[in-house]
Amino acid sequence: MKHWITLCCCMLTLFALSAQTPDSSTTIKGCPRSDGERIIVELRLPDTSFRDLSLPMEQRVEILLRQLTLKEKLAMMEHQNPAIERLGIPAYSWWNEALHGVARNGYATVYPQPIGLAATFDVPAVKKMFSWIAVEGRWKFEEAQRDKEYGDYKGISFFTPNINIFRDPRWGRGMETYGEDPYLTAQMGKACVQGLQGDDPTYFLTLACAKHFAVHSGPESIRHSFDVSVTPRDLWTTYLPAFETLVKEANVQQVMCGYNRLDGEPCCTNQHLLVKILKEQWGYEGLFVTDCWALNDAWERDTVIPRHETYPTAADAATAAFGSVIDLECGSGLPALKEAVERGYLDKGIIDEHVRKILMTRMRLGLFSEGEMYRWKGGKDVEVEPLDYDYLSYRMACESMVLLQNKNNILPLDPAKYKRIAVVGPNAANDTMMWGNYNGTPYHTVTILKGIRDYAKKHHGPSVYYDMACHHVDGLYKLPANFDRQIAKCDLIIFVGGLSPMLEGEQLDVEVDGFHGGDRTSIELPRIQNGMLRKLKKTGKPVILVLNTGSAVALDWEDENLDGILCAWYPGQEGGTAVADVLFGKYNPSGRLPVTFYSAHNELPPFDSYDMHGRTYRFMTEKPLYPFGHGLSYTTFSYSDCDFKVDDRTVSCIVTNTGQRLGSEVVQVYLRNPQDPEGPVKTLVGFKRVTLQPSQSIQLSFPIEERFFQSFNDKDQTFEFRPGTFYIMVGDQMLEVHI
């Protein structure tokens, strides 16, 4: 017994020494026994040289890796990495969101929803916005570290951006994307990644994640069992280009596989997608991440939610995923992973490969050494610039506004012309609508009603009458008895309506007229709102519709009968000010549609068909209500001296502001390739946003990537150049070029 007591005392002494010398790698031997002999005890203290910044990162990773137990390694492959206290490593969660601002993590700046950001066609502004989001994310991360908060949404590895193609306006999550065009999506996604990750060659400011790989865009209600069948042509010309751009040109550090199956195999175990294309063809070396609990769909039997059920057990599914390239599971599959290793399905060497990548990524985020964190604390390496988050949110909201209709130039409104206006509709005073989804909580929100009231008050303009007038979809709202009388006193009516993130979004529990499970069953404006607009139109007053939406809405009656239509999307915390400034002319609208606004629901192919025939501006032959790229201005622009140089394949033109107001034009370049008869009718190959004073001109040039002149060989599933005549469209100009 005395020997055991002595041994315990020795161990306690050694642990105390270990705690006192955390940076020591000394081996301590020997403790005296009561009879004079010695009990040999060896305790090797942790090797903390993985924190030594003078060592190469690869060496530091290996020092850390060899000290981890198998249990600790496996735990690091789940998104909630537990703390390893003996090494002084805190817990960390990989699940964090920053779709249009730091999300689900308390107060943070809320910018317009990504579909609105896409409408800006302003790549430099989007990059700047995401760099500011990254800095704000770093600040919040350090606060959480000080408060010892390590849970989900407290970290700096963001599951952003969503670069799936918005192929059908019925998809509820389309608002999270950058629209229906592969090139616009790629450029916006690239700007997002570069802004979030920063430009340091060694360390990342934060991490970005390209999701959801691949061919994932609804339906939401069956996403856990849906098997997508797509032609190689559509796969390579529509669904994959944005991902390829982010991998090859933006150095994105995370790629997330989707919930759906592709050609029978779940995306998170799909060898063709993850290994053949992403890793081998594109050379991707970053982290492979599953969508949250997506691996469960591969094996779980569920009587409520249909699943893929392609593997007999959780261990088999884990083997299929981690046995190839998946590094990190967002979910709770650790027991299955342990079982796969214990049964010999997964080799420990493969586990080391995955953990090595995870450790390297955490190290490049500066998470293992305090010395690596200084640059993000407002130190000398941070760009010295006042970060006016409210202004940037306002600016992005202004640029996102798309003026769809403006009869008789009723807009911009003259405040002196109207004594009293009515601002009505379910979105007028709705602050949470403004935030979209995957959002943070702003410190303040300017609703559209408040924005209009503030503008009118500041400029001694009209008084404002407000009433909700109706709900979004149901007829339960009761108009006040004096509603008609109040409307009769007004000179102008602004109806603020459309959709809501409570109706369209990710797998929502919504079953109402026109909406199902987060998706839409009808693309028309909800009937109750259309009925209210018809009622307001009968008053004889001018009626303007401010449309809040995350997707295209069929507005045939509205376009024909209303005086003006402004698409404001879900515009973020400063959206009300932006709407008011556009309506009254302080800001000249310059947004352009990143999606086609179809005339009617019956124009669309079946929702669950991923065939691109008849979809989006690239493949539809009918005339839409508002085409992709559409957007009106309070000034006019002309195009001249358009030319194409064959040697460097560059198109140039002169753009002139021919109106009376300062304004921004989004110059769009399209190409049609007759050598590929199955290809797009036309496709966007370049764009640039320019701001011009009245009578000011600017000469622009657009180098067109060689791939846009290539045709897809359906037999070989490759791209090839076929000489011939190509058509290039810039503004109202068309060039016929022979290559």
Domains of the chain (ranges plus CATH)? 2-45 (no CATH), 389-619 (3.40.50.1700), 637-738 (2.60.40.10)
- CA 218 from centre of chain: 16
Contact (CB, 8 A) for 203 and 153: no
Token pair, residue 573, equals 């915390």
Strands (E), 508-602: 511-512, 515-516, 519-520, 543-548, 564-567
Strands (E), 630-705: 637-645, 650-657, 663-672, 683-692, 697-703
Burial class of residue 581, CB neighbours in 10 A (0-12, 13-18, 19+)? buried
601 vs 606: CA distance, rounded Å? 10
- Model pLDDT, residue 378: 43
- Per the rule left: phi > 0, alpha: psi between -120 and 50, beta: everything else, 158 is beta
Residues 6+ apart with CB under 8 A from 560: none
Q: Which residues pair with 328 in a beta bridge?
A: 289
- CA 427 from centre of chain: 23
Catalytic residue among 504, 524, 558, 665: 504
Amino acid code (one letter) for 583: L
Strands (E), 327-412: 402-406
291 is catalytic: yes
Residues 6+ apart with CB under 8 A from 617: 180, 181, 596, 624, 627, 628, 629, 681, 682
Whose tokens are 């040039």? That residue is: 701
- Model pLDDT, residue 413: 98
Whose tokens are 């201005």? That residue is: 633
Mean pLDDT by 10 residues, the chain (739 residues): 47 42 42 54 78 95 97 98 96 98 98 98 98 96 95 98 98 98 98 96 95 97 96 98 98 98 97 97 98 97 91 97 96 96 96 98 90 49 62 98 98 96 98 98 97 97 97 97 98 98 97 97 97 98 98 98 98 98 98 95 88 96 96 98 96 98 98 97 98 98 97 96 98 96
State the pTM of this model: 0.94
Contact (CB, 8 A) for 435 and 573: yes
Contact (CB, 8 A) for 192 and 251: no
Amino acid code (one letter) for 713: N
Q: What is the per-residue burial (b if ≥16 Cβ within 10 Å, else e) of 36-74? A: eeeeeeeeebbbbebbeeeeebeebbbbbbebbeeebbb
Catalytic residue among 136, 265, 291, 665: 291
Give backbone dihedrals phi and psi of 565, rounded to 5 degrees, phi first.
Answer: -135, 125
Contacts by 621-624 with C-beta closer than 8 Å and gap 24+? 621/681, 623/599, 624/596, 624/597, 624/598, 624/599
* Dihedral sign of CA atoms 94, 98, 101, 104 in order: negative
332 vs 82: CA distance, rounded Å? 13
Give backbone dihedrals phi and psi of 437, rounded to 5 degrees, phi first.
Answer: -120, 175
Say if strands 402-406 and 564-567 run parallel, antiparallel, or are unpaired.
Answer: antiparallel
439 vs 107: CA distance, rounded Å? 10
- Model pLDDT, residue 36: 55
Token pair, residue 13, equals 């002494």
- Model pLDDT, residue 381: 40
Whose tokens are 């053949």? That residue is: 276
Side by side, which strands form the sheet with 210-213?
A: 210-213, 254-257, 287-290
* DSSP tally for the chain: helices H, then strands E: 20, 28
Q: Which residues pair with 492 in a beta bridge?
A: 421
141 vs 413: CA distance, rounded Å? 44
Contact (CB, 8 A) for 176 and 183: no
- Model pLDDT, residue 601: 66
Q: Kindly compute the dihedral angle of the four CA atoms of residues 252, 254, 259, 260, in this order, to the nearest 10 degrees.
A: 40
Give backbone dihedrals phi and psi of 340, rounded to 5 degrees, phi first.
Answer: -60, -40
Contact (CB, 8 A) for 287 and 357: yes
Of residues 359, 382, 378, the one with CA closest to residue 94: 359
504 is catalytic: yes
Concatenating the DSSP letter of every residue in 100-157 gives SSSBSSSB------HHHHHHHT-HHHHHHHHHHHHHHHHHHHHHHHHTT--STTSSSB
